[in-house]
A and B are shown apart, each in its own frame.
Chain A
C-alpha cells in the first residue's frame, strides 16, 4: 500500500508563499497509473481539491486557485510539492496529499498550515 507524508512549515506569514512536500513510499511516483493530488480542509469545514500532477509533469488545478498554485514533481526523490502564493488567513487549513486523479484512496495524515503574522 502506498504511503504519503506531508512536510513543510506550519506557519506562513500573510502575502508569502506556502510550500509543502509530499513524500511517497511503497510505490513509485513515476507510475503511469497514478496521479498525485493536493487537497485542503479548513478548520471545521469541508474539503477543497487544489490540484494534481502526473509523473510527466502535467498538471490540472482547481480553477478558483489556479492563479496562485504550482504543483511540481521530483521523481528522483519520489516526492511532489505544492506552492501557493500570496497567502491570506483564508488559506489556513489542513493540507493533505493523496494518490488519485478522480477520487483518492491513499491519503497522508495531513499537516496544519496557519497563515498569521
Chain B
C-alpha cells in the first residue's frame, strides 16, 4: 500500500498570499515508461464532494483558475495557490493512482 502523507494538516493564509501544501508518497509514483507522475490533487469544500483540481502532478483541470499549480516528481509533490481567494477555503487532498488508489489525510486551508 502506498501511503500518502500531507503537510501541514492545516494552514491559515491571508487573502492574496501564497498557500503551499506538500504531499509525500511512501513509494515512487513516477512511471518510467511514460515519465508521468500518477498524482492528483482535489479540493473539497464543506458539504460537497471532492473536486479534481490537478492530475498527472501538474495538469490543471479545465476551468480551474491558474492560481492553482502542481509540482514535484517521484515521491515529493506540492500544490500551490499563488494568491489565496475566499472561495479557496477548503480541504485539499493528494491522491496517487500508481498502484491501487490512496489519498493523503487532507490539509485544511483557512483565511488568516
Contact = CB atoms under 8 A, between A and B. Distances in A.
Interface of A: 45-49, 62-64, 96, 98, 102-105, 107-110
Interface of B: 1, 38, 40, 42, 48-52, 55, 61, 93, 95, 97, 100-106
Contact of B106 (A46, A98, A102, A109): A46
- Tell me what chain B mostly uses at the interface: helix, strand, loop, or mixed: loop
Given A46-B106, A102-B97, A64 B52 contact: no
Nearest to B4: A46
Contacts of A63: 1, 100
- Tell me what chain A mostly uses at the interface: helix, strand, loop, or mixed: loop
Contact of B52 (A47, A105, A109, A110): A105
A96 B44 CA distance: 13
A51 B30 CA distance: 22
A48 B50 CA distance: 12
A98 to B, nearest CB: 8
A63 B100 CA distance: 8
Contacts of B97: 102-103
Interface centre among A46, A96, A105, A107 (most CB of B within 10 A): A46
Q: A-B pairs with the 7 shortest C-beta distances?
A: A107-B49, A49-B101, A102-B97, A47-B103, A103-B40, A46-B105, A103-B55
A62 B101 CA distance: 8
Given A46-B104, A48-B103, A103-B55, 10 more contacts: A46-B103, A46-B105, A47-B50, A49-B101, A96-B49, A102-B38, A103-B95, A107-B50, A108-B49, A110-B49
A50 to B, nearest CB: 9
A63 B101 CA distance: 10
Given A62-B101, A63-B100, A105 B61 contact: yes
